[in-house]
Structure 1
């Protein structure tokens, strides 16, 4: 078990003493720390905006649960990428309401598997339905209104509204 040591200087002498000598205080610290770390990782996992790992070969993990918007760009500094992200960030509530997750691949040098499948050479946006099929695919930013109206016209979305 890890102990936290604190050095206390008293009258020029250095003395080591343990912080949280009591086992119950130490356990309380560890439980609090683990809860904090697990809630932080849980918040990241539930974030609408996520980086797409180059190893990701398919989007099956989202099928029937989420509608991925996959954005491929040459870099995070790409003007089309920044424009698309800004539009999407302004519509977070609408995206969340429609079970959307935004996945970004801004590193062509990583040779991502999905990038290769979609043959994305520069900027590209792909809206994937809950069934796993591509619903919109453009090489320029897509307005949020276009994405939302496309989603709202889908049978699954209409069924969710009723």
Structure 2
């Protein structure tokens, strides 16, 4: 009888630990922002690095993207805003400070630097601009890619 009670406690404790571990894992996975590798072969991230989320160059760039939203979406692009101070996002998912710092370090972006990086569907850096970008130039770079040529032949686009 005593062994039965000890065995039940052991099983109950083990199940509790499993449930807690699963809850932590699922909770952190759903709260974590998407990683760039999540977009590989599906989307072209446009990463906007700025000192703050209210930087005038960032605000202007986002306004330009909104003004050409159809062309942006037609090229399977997603936006990542990575800021030293403020709210960073990747495809509308919040990035925490560690994730923002990791991206800045990965692409060698200084803390007070404004920079725009186009990442291809293959995950490689395709273009880097250190000022408010001309989106037509970015779109031309994309349209010159072999993968984009195939996409345009398969679906001429909506814009």
Instruction: Report the counterpart of residue 42 of structure 1 in structure 2.
Output: none
CA distance in 1, matches of 2:135, 2:53: 19
Name the residue aligned to 1:80.
57
Alignment check: 8 A CA contact 2:115 2:129 kept: yes
Tell me the secondary structure at the aligned position of residue 107 of structure 1.
Answer: strand
Query: 1:1-162 residue pairs with structure 2 within 5 A?
Result: 59-108=36-85, 110-111=97-98, 112-121=101-110, 122-162=113-153
The Cα shift of 1:142 comes to 1.1
Aligned length in residues: 108
RMSD: 1.9
Moved over 3 A (4+): none
**Could you report, residue by residue, the CA deviation over 1:97-156 in whole angstroms, capped at 9, with x for unpaired residues?**
110001111235835211111121111100001111111112111111011111000000
Where 2:71 maps in the other structure, the secondary structure is helix
After TM superposition, the score normalised by the length of structure 2 is 0.63
More helix by share: 2
- The 8 Å contact of residues 48 and 81 in structure 2, kept in 1 or not, is answered as yes
Aligned to 2:14: none
Q: TM-score, normalised by structure 1?
A: 0.62
Equivalent residue, structure 2, for 1:33: none
SS of the aligned residue for 1:136 comes to: strand
C-alpha separation between the residues in 1 aligned to 2:42 and 2:151? 12
Is the radius of gyration larger for structure 1 or structure 2? 1
